[in-house]
Chains A and B, each alone.
Chain A
Amino acid sequence: MSPTPPARSTASFDRRRTTAVELDGVTFGYDRTRQILTGISMTIPRGQVVAIMGGSGCGKTTILRLIGGQLRPRAGRIMVAGQSVPDLDRDGLFALRREVGMLFQFGALFTDLSVFENVAFPLREHTDLSEDMIRDLVLMKLNGVGLRGAAPLATGALSGGMARRVALARAIALDPMLVMYDEPFAGLDPISLGIVGQLIRKLNDALGITSVVVTHDVYESLKIVDYLYFVSDGRIVAQGTPDAVRASRDPFVRQFVDGQADGPVPFHVAAAPLDTAFALDVR
């Protein structure tokens, strides 16, 4: 594997810990009025691929931002490899982010850089490696996602699926211990869906990392993950292994997995009763 210089801070991230990420009673809201997450507790063991599922806008992406230290929780503990994330100082956050790779929705590639430069970006910023070493590493990572031939292209020339894969190569450039995926399956064609799913699983096992996937694609997730959490209205409403989920009788899980229009998550948004809305009771 490629050599990465040690983190320069007092915080030390122990890759060998059995628990990679742990959230305990995490509560978060942007201001006093809206509470986005309430009492979130999850344990993510090292080496596993874990999915966080739920409808749009239920706070899934917020969980990723909390783990990555971009947001601070109002209450609760967030531990990554034994370090409490909200208590990290500037150097500690710096070290944390070298150990955590993130794949953003739709890729978030830097539009002013080429594919090669995008993947090389974290290497250039955080290491003193020579140009030759960087070149080899970048091509290796791109090869891992099947896009070594796309290295000289500009980001504008990529299809959605290819851009997603380049962003994945960039996320693993520094060989992090944890990779987070924000809606990696959103908007992809069936072939790309399959590719991304396979890559997530294969890279996880090959590199010995831990993966957290935030998504609402049930079909793809059930194929590749080891454990799932279901989030609704800022709370965890269900969790389990893929088999347990498939067999579950929980109404929310069933509605989600089967794609039912109505259930615990209602079809109709809260509105005035039909009579008053259509003035039917006017006599």
Chain B
Amino acid sequence: MSASAIADGLRRVGGGTRRAISRLGFAARFALAVLLHSPEGLKRIRLTLREIYFSGVLSLVIILVSGLFVGMVLALQGYDVLQRYGASESLGILVSLSLVRELGPVVAGLLFASRAGSAITAEIGLMKATEQLSAMEMMAVDPLARVVAPRFWGGVISMPLLAALFSTLGVYGAYLVGVKLIGIDAGAFWGNMQSVVDFRADIVNGIIKSAVFGVIVSLIAVFEGYDAAPTAEGVSRATTRTVVASSLSILAADFVLTVFMFRGVGVV
């Protein structure tokens, strides 16, 4: 490789890094601005309700169906392994802890990012491309308060509810497979589960996780939409970025949160 090619490559990496960092800075300022404009946005409670509908209610089908199937598969695979050690009665514990602590918040978060997050990005991006945001500005209406903040809070409010519904359907799916199909004792299934799953340590932590993921996904979604290039290609790239960035951030945040939350449980 010639020296100039290497220098060129380095220059591009440097430039790309610098651009990425300044974009991150812009994103941080944007996030702050959204939070500052939220009180105005929340006064228009109708708008926020509408966004809860579009982010939450319209995601119900995919969340419920996925939760059910994940729970059923978890029960099948879990039973296969547990029964080798005569521990099939612990199936309820395995399924419920997996769902409540991890799978509920994370998988629901990933599904939410792809379904609702990309929709939010596309919507805001298109509004930018067709000058609707400019028109609002010229009519002295702040787009951050009227368009961005309601979508952000709609996502933040919907996420924990969706994650809880995912876990619930998962447990039910596991019950269907474990108790009804395989024949594990129902009392053992529920009883063991109840004695191990702790409200504060497991369920509350799971809810906290899903709330954090909700903030992450909603923030990324509204930012990418607002920052999209006002062309068809720009909007399409922005939606891709939303899904990819949200997914990676959820998984990274999950790791960090898990280390802090589940530190004392039998590991450390």
A and B directly contacting (CB within 8 A):
yes
One digit per residue, 1 when the CB lies within 8 angstroms of any chain A CB and 0 when it does not, for chain B 115-155 equals 00000000000110011101111111100000000000000
Q: Is the CB of B131 within 8 A of A105?
A: yes
How many A-B residue pairs have C-beta atoms within 8 angstroms? Tell me.
43
Q: Determine if A102 is an interface residue (Cβ-Cβ < 8 Å).
A: yes
Query: Can you list 29 A-B pairs, Cβ within 8 angstroms, ordered by A?
Result: A70-B134, A70-B137, A93-B140, A94-B140, A97-B138, A97-B139, A97-B140, A98-B140, A100-B138, A102-B135, A104-B131, A104-B134, A104-B135, A105-B131, A108-B131, A108-B132, A108-B135, A109-B132, A110-B135, A111-B126, A111-B127, A111-B130, A121-B141, A122-B139, A125-B139, A125-B140, A125-B141, A126-B139, A126-B140
- Taking A97-B139, A104-B134 as given, write out 11 further A-B residue pairs in contact, using a Cβ cutoff of 8 Å, ordered by the A residue number: A68-B138, A70-B138, A102-B135, A104-B135, A104-B138, A108-B131, A121-B139, A121-B141, A125-B141, A126-B139, A126-B140
For the side of the interface on B, what is the size category? 10 to 19
Q: What is the bound-complex CA distance between A108 and B130, given in angstroms? A: 6
Closest to A110 in B: B132
Q: Is the CB of B132 within 8 A of A102?
A: no
Q: Determine if A106 is an interface residue (Cβ-Cβ < 8 Å).
A: yes
One digit per residue, 1 when the CB lies within 8 angstroms of any chain B CB and 0 when it does not, for chain A 106-146 equals 10111100000000011001100000000000000000000
Q: What is the bound-complex CA distance between A94 and B142, given in angstroms? A: 10
| Contact partners of A94 in chain B: CB under 8 A | 140
Q: What is the bound-complex CA distance between A126 and B139, given in angstroms? A: 9
Closest to B139 in A: A122
Which residues of chain A have a CB within 8 Å of any CB of chain B?
68, 70, 93-94, 96-98, 100, 102, 104-106, 108-111, 121-122, 125-126
Closest to B137 in A: A70
Pairs of residues from A and B, 10 with the lowest C-beta to C-beta distance, nearest first: A97-B140, A108-B131, A108-B135, A102-B138, A94-B140, A104-B131, A122-B139, A125-B141, A108-B132, A104-B135
Q: What is the bound-complex CA distance between A119 and B92, given in angstroms? A: 58
B94-129, CB < 8 A from A: 126-127
| Contact partners of B139 in chain A: CB under 8 A | 97, 121-122, 125-126
Q: What is the bound-complex CA distance between A37 and B211, given in angstroms? A: 48
Closest to B146 in A: A125
| Contact partners of B131 in chain A: CB under 8 A | 104-106, 108
- Residue in B132, B139, B141 whose Cβ sees the most chain A Cβ within 10 Å: B139
| Contact partners of B136 in chain A: CB under 8 A | 110
**Minimum distance in angstroms from A70 CB to a CB of chain B:** 6
**Minimum distance in angstroms from A109 CB to a CB of chain B:** 8
**Minimum distance in angstroms from A127 CB to a CB of chain B:** 12
**Minimum distance in angstroms from B264 CB to a CB of chain A:** 49
Closest to B47 in A: A112
Q: What is the bound-complex CA distance between A108 and B126, given in angstroms? A: 11
**Minimum distance in angstroms from A21 CB to a CB of chain B:** 15
Closest to B54 in A: A112
**Minimum distance in angstroms from A132 CB to a CB of chain B:** 20
- Residue in B134, B136, B138, B139 whose Cβ sees the most chain A Cβ within 10 Å: B138
- Residue in B126, B135, B141 whose Cβ sees the most chain A Cβ within 10 Å: B135
